[in-house]
A and B are shown apart, each in its own frame.
Chain A
Amino acid sequence: MSEIKKIATRQSYGDALAELGKEHQDIVVLDADLAAATKTSVFQKAFPDRHIDCGIAEGNMMGVAAGIATTGIVPFASSFAMFAAGRAFEQIRNSIGYPKLNVKIGATHAGISVGEDGATHQCNEDIALMRTIPGMVILNPSDDVEAKAAVKAAYEQKGPVYLRFGRLAVPVINDRPDYKFEIGKAITLKQGKDVTFIASGLTVNESLEAAKLLEKDGISAAVINMHTIKPLDEQAVIDAAKNTGKIVTVEEHSVIGGLGSAVCDVIAEKEQAKVLKIGINDVFGESGSAIELIKKYGLDRNSIYIKVKEFLK
């Protein structure tokens, strides 16, 4: 088998910004002393006059982005998910969300796959925080192709958008001619009749692989790539509940308040199904290689496979 190409979605973010910046003079990019890590350095190199390094001051950066947006310019404010959604939560809520300003928040290094930096930098709470802000759109792409498409869609979308990217290089899985990214529209990657995976981010590929393992045991699993957490594609959830009656959500995020919770909100109100939420189980992370941690915290294909087998018993 040929080697699968792997690219970190943060790299896709930087590349997509530089590409979009050529065409659109109204894009500016802000960073908080992490340009080399968030990859906004790619944009910075191409358009130094439109890159604003705010230094290590994320709260101020969000406010500055808000002010820029009031002048009709489209700012992409970038930092690690921990310091964007976490540290600057109230600035995002009050200065961006409340006035519905056209600010795009590029949050990289989300989730446990940050790896060696450990718990202080592994943000497993950002989706939960961002979901509570009225009008906030949340995109959590699964690979390079989708991340680039998400950046473009975010630019075209009017209003605040939270983009979630990872540090770890992940397999490119969406490189096909019929791939189409539409905000709020889930993508069914695999049909199945016994259970439906609803995943986003790097867990989409792990879910696809887990589905293959289940297939060997005669279990037919559907896989849905829920790249948009908000607004959630409720119809896709309802259909999954109707079709398979059992749903497994998989996310590199706390099981509290993230994709799993969003899916359960729909299930509770609109169409019943049994749900298993796979994610970070209300614990902090730790240092380690990304691959080790993904396994240790049960987000790899084998862990998913074992949990789903148990769930289906």
Chain B
Amino acid sequence: MNTIELQKIANDIRKGIVTAVYSAKSGHPGGSLSAADIYTYLFFEEMNIDPQNEKKEDRDRFVLSKGHTAPGYYSALAHRGFFPVEDLKTLRKAGSYLQGHPDMKHTPGVDMSSGSLGQGISAAVGMAISAQIYKKDDRVYTLLGDGELQEGQVWEAAMLAGHRKLDNFVVIVDNNGLQIDGKIDEVNSPYPIDEKFKAFHFHVINIDGHNFDEIAKAFSQARQTKGMPTAIIAKTVKGKGVSFMENQASWHGTAPNEQQYAIAMEDLEKAGAALCQK
């Protein structure tokens, strides 16, 4: 797929995010929007997955360690064909298979339940170790928040991944710079993120998380990296694509009201129309 095509998909995924959260009247739009381009590249380009055969054995695996950004994950899975896009409107509603945080038992395409921060990366390391021991070619990807790096378990997992030289394992950090209580470097700074992962024996790549050329290059480089896992530190904008949500910590876990929803969708419609002109 070329960049324009990917950008169009990402824009549709963003619409799905905003619609799902608006419909649920709760949820986490900020970090879902910031990671939308990463989700797009992972599920539409990078990973060996098949919506028609979602449990196939030799698939690549993904764990959303920052589980609260499930709306982004669900929207990406829906647009990739794992379940109807229309169902995004059932997000967080009683009886829905789209739980507030990912539930592997009920949601097609979800490889691991997550939501308690710091735990998803451990499960992803487990998947990568299983592939290593049983000599399988599966690759494992996990997406972390930058605030999530404050959880000690992240570093327990990173230490083991580096120690075991898991070159089938890729960590992506959605570095949008904001957490619930404010800026990450004002709450409890995890910086320098790249140097930390380097110290844990990761190959580290810093990218602009909204630039598909850089995203593509980073994943390609990760594939070529042998003898160590890769950490992609993606600089992103929280709330990306919705004018009034961008770079606002307050949109971490808030749903738009009717008026705000209309503005958000108008922003995204305009962006979509602009892409069609290209």
Contact = CB atoms under 8 A, between A and B. Distances in A.
Given A54-B160, A95-B113, A99-B113, A67 B104 contact: no
Given A49-B133, A55-B160, A64-B160, A71 B119 contact: no
A52 to B, nearest CB: 6
B206 interface: no
A68 B113 contact: no
Contacts of B105: 99-100
A202 interface: no
Contacts of B113: 94-95, 98-99
A99 B104 contact: yes
Contacts of B123: 63-64, 66-67, 70, 95
B129 A64 contact: yes
B122 A67 contact: yes
Interface in A219-244: none
Interface stretch (B151-159, B192-200, B261-269): B151-159
Contact of A70 (B104, B115, B119, B160): B104
B116 A55 contact: no
Name A's interface SS: helix
Contacts of B119: 59, 63, 91, 94-95
A152 interface: no
Interface string A103-125: 00000000000000000000000
Interface string B84-127: 00000000000000000001110000011111101111111111
B130 interface: yes
Given A94-B113, A94-B115, A95-B113, A66 B122 contact: yes
A157 B115 CA distance: 27
A72 B112 CA distance: 13
A64 B122 contact: yes
A214 B242 CA distance: 77
Nearest to B65: A63
A62 B116 CA distance: 13
A57 interface: yes
A73 interface: yes
Contacts of B103: 98-99
A60 B112 contact: no
Contacts of A57: 153, 156, 159-160
Contacts, number: 107
Interface residues of A, number: 30
Nearest to B160: A54
B24 interface: no
A181 to B, nearest CB: 29
Interface centre among B63, B111, B114, B134 (most CB of A within 10 A): B134
Interface of B: 57, 61, 63, 103-105, 111-116, 118-131, 133-134, 152-153, 156-157, 159-160, 163
26 contacts: A28-B130, A49-B133, A50-B133, A54-B156, A59-B118, A60-B125, A60-B157, A63-B119, A63-B120, A63-B153, A64-B126, A66-B112, A66-B123, A67-B123, A67-B124, A70-B111, A70-B112, A71-B126, A73-B133, A94-B113, A94-B119, A95-B114, A95-B123, A98-B113, A99-B112, A100-B105
